[in-house]
Chains A and B, each alone.
Chain A
């Protein structure tokens, strides 16, 4: 047996990075509706804060639209400005 053949008792965990994708580009959504609270709920956290791109994977182009839609939804009281335990 070769000397440099390293063997482990338990297989080491190699993190496989899950590729993020933009849900809008993937499903071909061109417009983010500010009236649709159920959909926008996916893009905010339980305090009602907008989730960053680095977590949702949304592209820059659509993150801008998402931000605008959420802010509009807050104005017409479809989404709260501040919340606790939204999910």
Chain B
């Protein structure tokens, strides 16, 4: 069992509901593969530091989950196949990262929209 953290960017072409629907789909995929979602949040429509696919904004989502490495492979394959996903990054969390992330969640629990109610 490892802890992973995935950030992904969806195209701004989608509506908020469509974006949320996509996130729920990926969260379900993680759960179906035997992963446990620890935390999930959205940063909303954010300006990109540079253009990606001629777009200058994107919906940012962050998912923290625990599970085996095959989840990452499956998830990234799904991201690559999905045209709605502009960019993604998965990071394996070491112990310092994990404690930082837990603290961060506690700090930001207010003011930020939590997508899934999975804690």
Bound pair (A, B): yes
| Chain A nearest CB, measured from B92 CB (Å) | 12
B96 near A: Cβ within 8 Å?
Answer: yes
**Would you give the 0/1 interface string for A70-86, flagging 1 where the beta carbon is closer than 8 Å to chain B?**
00101111111111000
The answer to whether B89 and A31 have CB atoms under 8 Å apart is no
A30 near B: Cβ within 8 Å?
Answer: yes
B48 near A: Cβ within 8 Å?
Answer: yes
The answer to whether A78 and B49 have CB atoms under 8 Å apart is yes
Sample of 13 A–B contacts (CB below 8 Å): A30-B99, A30-B100, A31-B100, A33-B104, A35-B62, A72-B89, A75-B87, A76-B7, A76-B60, A77-B48, A77-B49, A81-B50, A82-B50
Q: How far is the CA of A77 from the CA of B60 in the complex (A)?
A: 10
Q: How far is the CA of A11 from the CA of B7 in the complex (A)?
A: 58
User: Using a Cβ cutoff of 8 Å, how many contacts connect chains A and B?
Assistant: 37
Q: List the B side residues contacting A77 at CB < 8 Å.
A: 9, 48-50, 52, 58, 87
Chain B interface residue count, Cβ-Cβ cutoff 8 angstroms: 18
B14 near A: Cβ within 8 Å?
Answer: no
What does DSSP make chain A's interface, helix, strand, loop or mixed? loop
| Chain A nearest CB, measured from B87 CB (Å) | 6
| Chain B nearest CB, measured from A30 CB (Å) | 4
Q: How far is the CA of A74 from the CA of B60 in the complex (A)?
A: 14
The answer to whether A35 and B7 have CB atoms under 8 Å apart is yes
Q: How far is the CA of A75 from the CA of B52 in the complex (A)?
A: 10
| Chain A nearest CB, measured from B40 CB (Å) | 14
Contact of A76 among B9, B94, B97, B104 (CB under 8 A): B9
